[in-house]
Structures are given as structure tokens and as C-alpha cells.
Chains A and B, each alone.
Chain A
Amino acid sequence: MAVNETYIEIQDEVLAERTWGSVAKDLIRRQPLGAAGGLVVILMISAAVFSNQIDMYDPEVNDFGAMLQAPSWDHLFGTDEFGRDIYSRIVHGARTAMLVGFTAAILGSTIGLLIGVTSAYFGGWVDIIIQRVVDILIAFPSIILALAIVIILGRGVGPVIVAITIPLIPNCARVVRSSALAVREIPYVDAARAMGYGHVRIVLRYISPNIMAPYLIMLTTFLGQAILAEASLSYLGLGVQEPTPAWGLMLKSGAEEYAESAPWAVIFPGVAISLAVFGFNLFGDALRDVLDPKLRDR
């Protein structure tokens, strides 16, 4: 009994040695691209959090005296057909993107984590049933599934978050399950079971922390996907609604009529979407490389 407890404590210490600080240092030193991605992530989050402080105009107020103006010092990214400042709308659009992106990614990956670990831990019929449900959900293309959910639930931020979260869950559950299957066989899990710990404690305390690497990688990957999905739904008119600033919505408004005569109305929202997705993907890749022991020393 004492031996088992000591073993578990050593495992905890090993995990504790890898602090967030050391992970960040590793990232900058070994992954300059990842660090650049991280910088984009920080920029996006800052824009979302401080949008009221760094905007130049109210993003929703029409100014017909300034319709479709090209980028200038007064309007850094120009104005749209309602004379609204595109820079301010991009900055506030970051809030919508980050809110939807983070919420959907965190919910999707966390629920996926719990489902994946549960499936792996219990095995047998529980595993078979969960994995078949996962198979069914994965069979739907994500955007089609999200579209169907939005049509059922309606428009707005809440339904969009649900619509984006649900397709993420099975993907995470499948990846996490494969990692959890390996962790389940490690002796300290047997030790915890032998000590009489309950299933919930074993799953949450001993298995889940040991599959944090795939979880975090999925989380960062999902962030980019969720931002792109939100922009796609808004572009299709199924996401957030005008006049709320959202990148996909801005792209939709400008694309058809103004792509030629006022390209700034399309370029800047497009760049914002691309940059955010690119940044989160770079950051996620780098994080995977840092957290994966097999890739760490390459």
C-alpha cells in the first residue's frame, strides 16, 4: 500500500516539474513559429478583452457622411457601406470570435475528454456504445452538423456556440480515448483502483491529468476550427446578426457588392479570420511538439 502511494506521489512530482513557465520557455526557444502563433493568440485575446479601449469609433453606429471610405488616418481600415469604421468592427469582432471560439473549444474538448476517458476506462459495452455514437457524429461533416443544429436552435451567439461545440466533441473523444487506453494500463491506475478509489476519482485525478497533452493540443486546434466555423456560419447568415460586429458577417456584407470597388471591406475581415486561424494552428502545433516527449528533443 505504502509503495503504491509513493509511486503515485512521484508521478505527481514529475508532472509538477513541467510548469507553464517552462513550457513557454521551451516554446520560444524551440518553436519560433509557435511563438509567433502565440503572439497572434495574445493579440487576438487582447483585442477581444480591450476592444472598448482600443476602438476608434462605436462599431455599430452608422455614419453616412463616411460611407465606403478607403483606409486613412481617420479610418485605419476604411469604412463599410454604412460608414462604420472597419478597424473598430474588426476589434469588436475579435470579441465575438474569441467568445465563440474559446467557449466552443473548451466545452467541446472538455466534454470530449470526459467522454473519451470514460469510454476507455470502463471499456466493454460502455466503450462500444460510446464509440458507435462517436462514429455516427464523426460521419457528419462538421459544418453540415453545425448548420443543422443552428437551424433547429435558431440564430445568435448561444446557439452558434452549441452548434460548433457538438461536432468537436466526438473528435476529441476519439483522440483522448486512444491515449486513455494506454494510460489505463499503467500500474499507478491499478494501484489507485487497488486502494479502493472510486471511478470518478480515478478518471478525474489519475487518468485525465495524464492525457493533458493531447487534450491541450486538441483544444488549441479546436480554437482555430471554432473561429473558422463561427465565421462560416455568420457568412451564411446563420451566426450572429447585424449590426453586431463579426468577421464572417463583415465578409459577407462586403464580398458580393464591394469586393471590387471597396476591397478593404472584404480584405480586412478576411485577413482577421485567416490570421486568427493561422495563429491558433501554429500555436497548437508548437504546443504539441513541446508537450509530446517523442517530439520534444527533435
Chain B
Amino acid sequence: MKLKTLNLLVGTTAALLLAANVAAAETPKRGGILNFVVGSKIPSMDGHMEGTFGMIHPIRPFYSTLIRVNPANPSSTTDFVCDVCSSFSSSDDGKTHTFAIRKDIKFHDGTPLTAADVKATYDKLVFPPKGILSLRKKFFNMVDTITTPDNYTLVMKLKYPSPTFIPSVAMPFNFIYSKKDLDTHGYKWHQKNVNGTGAFSFVEYQPGSHVTGKRFDGYHHEGKPYLDGYKAISAPKMAVRLQAIRGDRAAIEFRGFPPKARDDLVKALGDKITVQEGDWNCSLLVTPNHKAKPFDDKRVRRALTLAVDRWGGSKALSKIAIVKTPGGVVFPSHPLAATKDELSKIPGFWTDIKKSRAEAKRLLAEAGQSNLTFTLLNRAVDQPYRILGVWLIDQWRQIGVKVTQNAVPTGPWVDSLRKKKDYQVAIDANCQSIVNPIVDVSKFLGSASNNYAQYTDEPMEKMHAAMSRSGDQAEQRKIMRQFEQRVYGDEAHIIPTLWWYKINPHRSYVKGWKIAPSHYLNQHLDQVWLDK
């Protein structure tokens, strides 16, 4: 009996000690500088006009947004929380959105933030004057008016209810600027200057070298940030970024590494490296130029998609490239995404690849293109463009199609897609920040400025308009399936490959940062701390 009691006592004590240790280990510690590497450049520091992680990673921590993806649950595609607001609500008809603005927020220069600052910011984003670029303008087509009934309330009225509105507001590029700065210095001042309400205030920017920030003590999220500051180190070469983490010159790279790099880091550093992984809201697409023969013939386009073994490719390519999940037009884990059963019915996603390729050969023969040859325009970027290019060429070889590749640097690649339109078939990508499917799939509309396939498809335009205005998710889902079947299957306007897969190996002492479906998200760094 005594022994039993002793055992119980020891066991309970041990359990309590363990729990206390775990709790202590997970209690954020204050202090330290986070060094991280960035593989791209900063074109300008104005989030409203930029779309690159090269700007987001070093600059986002200086700014706040109206709402944001929940930092505690960033992998969710529907969980949004307030940043500079204290609450937000929508009217029953879905046309009026009211945001209560917090009263305890200050810009880094000491100016208090009011609803007027948020309105000035959104006026620039939604209704930019001529000559001012707002990359997010198209996301806010539904916005009718922006008003401030009082100093701490912002009301946005929409022309029609739209399920894409709230996710669009949560986009990380929508930095809140000071009205005073906009009025005094103009709309271009933020391209080279920083004054935000973010967790960190600006210290230094050395182009080509680094950006540094220090803790902003007046930050509005209580107790945060935990870090004393951060240093974003520019390192365009992947080998340099890897070695920086390996040598502990940097603790993390937020965009992601290929699988082999992850394996090498883990092998070399063991438990000093923690790996976070997840699907990435980015997919590589093959765009046939509908104005270049024979790609105006949908039988040829369908043959090209039928030749590709996405299920088999996923297993192999996920070992060497930052791609993994076969999926439809919607980000795989979103409620609007196709299930595997639904997907398997779309040509190109059939699970029987032999049947699929036999059908591809039949279609090519029917179209008189059994000896089809063409040039694939690709972007000369290793991950995942080069890898996917080589894989696709091998897939098409198996139905007798001979493809030569023209991999060019990003500038000429974009130039060919957007201006010259001189390609036959090109590899293109659809990369987004917030998972906002109805907005994200606008890429597949012939009328979209970022659709380079040169087709018009009225039924698809109508389907998209119906989805954009529907408040019923079941109806949206139903229309989305028709949309998907048409663009990937019936018409094969665009040929899907695989969704990207984000792999973030980082030093295990980096805590509080959680992987999101995009490398643009959850980069405010206010929740990050160092367990050193």
C-alpha cells in the first residue's frame, strides 16, 4: 500500500514537473534579434503597389492591416481576426461592413491612428488616382463607398454582397498608412519611407544587404512583440541561404526550401532544426496559346492534359521539388475545393493513366497532330519551374509529342506572356496570398489581365459572376465544379500541374511562427520569439 502511494506520489510529481517544464518551454521569452534570409529584392517599400515576398518579408513587420489571418491559426483558409480594429461586422444583406477601430494605436512617429487613416489607406487602395498603382484595386471592385461616421468607425458599403470582400481586406499588402503622411508627402512617399503601426519600427535599409527593425514599444497588441528586433538579410542564392541557416547566421527563411535542402539540414543539424510544411496557395499551370495553331484545337489541348500523370508525378516530384498535391482550381483544403472523387472525373486527373494516354493519342490522331512538336516557354528558375518543365516534356513524350524547352529569365518570360504573346505553350503560375478562391480563380477568365492563353469564354465569365455574387456556399461550390470542369476538362483552356508545397526548415529556437498557405502571410513577426 505504501509502495503504491509512493509510486503514485512520484508519478504525479513527475507529471506535474513535466507539465510545468512544457508550459515553461512554451512561455514566450522576450528579447533577441531574429536574423532571417530573403531570396529576392525590394522593388519598393509600398505594399500597395508590390506583390513580391522580397518586399513583404522585410517590410511587413513595420505595418499593421485592418484585419489579418489569425496568427495562431494561419493554415486556416477562413479564420480572420482584427488587427487595427477591435471588431467587425456585416449587415444581413452582406452589403455593409463596419469596422470598429482601436483607440490605443499610434504610428511610429507618435501620431495616433484613427478611422481617417484607415479610410485614407483604403481610398488609395480602392480608388487610386490616375498614375498611382494599386495592385489590389481589382480585388475591391465590389466596394461602393468608404466612410467614417466617427473617429473610430469605418464603414465600407458594397455594390453587391461578395464572399471575396473580407479575405481581400485581410491581404497582407494592405498596409495602413497615416493620412498625415499621405496628405503631406503624397502617394509615392511610402515607396522609399516607412511609418507604420507595426510591431517593429524602421531602423535601416541597405539595398542588396539588409533591412533592420527594432521593437516598437507602443505596439497595440499587448505584450508583443517579443523580439528586440530583426534583421532581414538579402541572399538571392539558395545555397547561400541554406548555408546561412546551417551556420546559424540566419534562423529562418520564410519562403521555403526544396525537399532535398530540408533533408540535408535535418541530417546535418538534427533536432536543432524544426520543419514546418503545408500546401501552398500557388500552382504551376501550362498555358497553351489559343491563337497559335494547333493549340486553338481543344482536342490538342485535351491530349496535352490527358498525357500528364498527376497522381504518379506527385509522389516522385514531391521528393525533388516544391510541389505535391494534385488539385483543381481551388486551394486543396478550402471548402470550395474539389474532393478526390470529384477531381478524378476531370480529364487529366483520371487515376488510370494508360487509359488517359490512349485517349490522348486518339485525340491527337483525330486532330491530325500525331507527330506534334512544339516549344515550351519556361521561366529559368529552378524551383519548381525547371523541374516541372523537364517532367512535363517527359510526360508528353509518352504520347509521341516532341517538345523543346526555351527557359528564359523572368523578364523575357513575362514579356513573352504579357506583351509579345509569341509562345506556343508556356509554363505560368497562379500564386496568391490570402486563400480567396473566387478571386483566385479569376486567373482562368479569358478577360483577366493575368490570363495569357488568349481565349474568350462567355459561359465561364457568367459562372464567375454568379459565384462572386452568391452568398450561398453550396451554390458557389456547385458552380465552381462546373467552372473547373470547363477550364481543365471540356475546353482544357489551361493545363494544371500540381499545387506547390511549402517547406520551412528553421532553427528550433525560433518559436511562435506558424506556417501559412502562402509565403506572404503571417509575416508581421509580432508573435515570434527566440527560445535561447
Q: Which residues 87-106 in A have Cβ within 8 Å of B in the complex?
A: none
Instruction: Spot the interface stretch: B96-104, B112-120, B122-130, B383-391.
Output: B383-391
Chain B residues contacting A7 (CB-CB under 8 Å) are none
A135 close to B (CB within 8 Å)? no
A155 beta carbon closer than 8 Å to chain B: yes
Q: Within residues 24 to 62 of chain B, which ones have a CB less than 8 A from any CB in chain A?
A: none
29 contacts between A and B (CB under 8 A): A60-B394, A61-B394, A61-B397, A62-B391, A81-B260, A81-B320, A81-B387, A82-B320, A82-B390, A82-B391, A154-B406, A155-B408, A156-B406, A241-B404, A241-B406, A241-B407, A242-B405, A243-B393, A243-B394, A243-B405, A256-B239, A256-B382, A257-B238, A257-B258, A257-B261, A258-B260, A261-B260, A261-B264, A261-B267
Given A62-B391, A243-B390, A237 and B238 contact (CB-CB distance below 8 Å): no
With a CB–CB cut-off of 8 A, which chain B residues contact A149?
none
Asked if A242 contacts B260 (CB within 8 A), the reply is no
A67 at the interface (CB under 8 A from B): yes
CB contact under 8 A between A64 and B263, given known A241-B405, A256-B239: no
Q: What string of 1s and 0s marks CB contacts (under 8 Å) between B83-104 and chain A? A: 0000000000000000000000
Q: Which of B258, B267, B316, B387 counts the most chain A CB atoms within 10 A?
A: B316
Chain A residues in 8 Å Cβ range of B315: 64
CA distance A261 to B264 in the complex (A): 7
Q: Which residues of A contact B404 (CB under 8 A)?
A: 241
Q: A241 to B375, alpha carbons, bound, how many Å?
A: 11
Residues of A within 8 A of B (CB): 60-62, 64, 67, 81-82, 154-156, 237, 241-243, 253, 256-258, 260-261
Interfacial residues of chain B within 223-280, with CB under 8 A of chain A in the complex: 237-239, 258, 260-261, 263-264, 267
Instruction: Tell me the bound Cα distance from A237 to B406 in angstroms.
Output: 10
Question: Are A242 and B389 in contact, CB atoms less than 8 angstroms apart?
Answer: yes
- Which residues on the B side are within 8 Å of A257 (C-beta)? 238, 258, 260-261
Contact between A261 and B405, CB atoms less than 8 A apart = no
Residue of A nearest to B404 (CB): A241
Closest chain A residue, CB of each to CB of B393: A243
Distance in angstroms from A242 CB to nearest chain B CB is 5
Task: Give the contacts of B392-443 with A (CB-CB under 8 A).
Answer: 393-394, 397, 404-409
Question: Which A residue sits closest to B381, measured CB to CB?
Answer: A237
Q: Nearest Cβ distance between residue B8 and chain A, in whole angstroms?
A: 50
* B380 interface contact, C-beta 8 A: yes
* Chain B, residue nearest A155 (CB): B406
How distant is the Cα of A241 from the Cα of B385 in the complex, in angstroms? Answer: 13
Q: Which chain B residues border A256 with CB–CB below 8 Å?
A: 237-239, 382
Q: Is B355 an interface residue (CB 8 A)?
A: no
Contacts of A237 in B (CB 8 A): 380, 407, 409
B319 within 8 A of A: yes
Contact partners of B397 in chain A: CB under 8 A: 60-61
Q: B128 to nearest A CB, angstroms?
A: 35
- Chain B residues engaging chain A, CB cutoff 8 angstroms: 237-239, 258, 260-261, 263-264, 267, 312, 315-316, 319-320, 380, 382, 386-387, 389-391, 393-394, 397, 404-409
Q: Which residue of A lies closest to B237 (CB)?
A: A256
Which single residue of chain A is at the shortest CB-CB distance from B403? A243
User: What chain B residues lie within 8 Å of A242 (beta carbons)?
Assistant: 386, 389-390, 393, 405, 407
Instruction: Write out the residue numbers on chain B whose beta carbons fall within 8 Å of the beta carbon of A260.
Output: 264
Bound-state CA distance A8–B326 (Å) is 78
Most buried by B among A154, A155, A241, A258: A241
Residues of chain B within 8 A of A62, CB atoms compared: 390-391, 394
Q: Which residues of B contact A82 (CB under 8 A)?
A: 320, 390-391, 394
A256 to B267, CA, bound (A): 17
Please give, as numbers and ranges, the residues of chain A lying within 8 Å of B409 by CB-CB distance: 237
Residue of B nearest to A81 (CB): B320
Q: Which 3 A-B pairs have the closest CB atoms?
A: A64-B316, A62-B394, A81-B320
Measured CB to CB, the nearest residue on chain A to B383 is A257
With a cutoff of 8 Å between Cβ atoms, the chain B residues found around residue A241 in the complex are 404-407
Q: Which residues of B contact A60 (CB under 8 A)?
A: 393-394, 397
Chain A residues closer than 8 Å to B405, beta-carbon distance: 241-243
Name which residue of chain B comes closest to A236, CB basis. B380
Q: Tell me if A261 and B394 are in contact (CB < 8 A).
A: no
Given A67-B319, A257-B258; 5 other pairs, CB 8 A cutoff:
A61-B394, A155-B408, A156-B406, A242-B390, A242-B405
Residue on A with the closest CB to B382?
A: A256
Select from chain A the residue with minimum beta-carbon distance to B376.
Answer: A241
Q: Which residues of chain A are near B394, meaning CB under 8 Å?
A: 60-62, 82, 243
Complex contacts, A155 vs chain B, CB 8 Å: 406-408
| Residue on B nearest A58 in the bound complex, by CB | B397
Bound Cα distance from A82 to B321, whole angstroms: 11
Q: Is the CB of B263 within 8 A of A261?
A: yes
**Nearest CB in chain A: distance from B134 CB, A:** 33
Bound Cα distance from A243 to B260, whole angstroms: 21
C-alpha gap A243/B376 in the complex (Å) = 12
Cα A260 to Cα B391 with chains together (Å): 23
Q: Which residues of B contact A253 (CB under 8 A)?
A: 386
**Residues of A contacting B237 with CB < 8 Å?**
256
B365 vs chain A, min Cβ distance (A)? 23
Chain B residues with CB under 8 Å of A64's CB are 312, 315-316
Nearest A residue (CB) for B389 = A242
Q: Give the most central of A155, A242, A257: most B CB within 10 Å.
A: A257
Instruction: With A242-B386, A242-B389 as known contacts, state yes or no: A67 contacts B316, CB within 8 Å.
Output: yes
Task: Give Cα A81–Cα B394 distance, bound, in whole angstroms.
Answer: 14
CB distance from A266 to the nearest CB of B (A): 12
Chain B residue, CB-CB nearest to A83: B316
Closest Cβ–Cβ distance, residue A211 to chain B (whole Å): 41
A35 to chain B minimum Cβ distance, whole angstroms, is: 40
Q: How far is the CA of A253 from the CA of B319 in the complex (A)?
A: 15
State in angstroms the CA–CA spacing of A261 and B319 once bound together.
Answer: 13
Give A60 to B402 CA distance when docked, in angstroms.
Answer: 12
- Compute how far the CA of A60 lies from the CA of B409 in the bound complex, rounded to whole angstroms: 23
* Closest beta carbon of chain A to B246's beta carbon, Å: 10
Hey, which chain A residues are within 8 Å of B264, CB to CB? Answer: 260-261
Complex contacts, A81 vs chain B, CB 8 Å: 260, 320, 387
> Does the CB pair B320–A67 fall under 8 Å?
yes
Task: A154 to B404: give the CA distance in the assembly, Å.
Answer: 14
Q: How far is the CA of A258 from the CA of B258 in the complex (A)?
A: 11
Q: How far apart sit A291 and B380, CA to CA, in the bound complex (Å)?
A: 46
Q: How far is the CA of A61 from the CA of B380 in the complex (A)?
A: 21
Q: Which residue of B lies closest to A241 (CB)?
A: B405
A261: chain B residues at CB < 8 Å are: 260, 263-264, 267
B258 neighbours in A (Cβ, 8 Å):
257
- Bound together, the chains give a CA A170 to CA B397 distance in angstroms of 43
Task: Determine how close the nearest CB of chain A comes to the CB of B370; give it in whole angstroms.
Answer: 20
CA distance A154 to B409 in the complex (A): 11
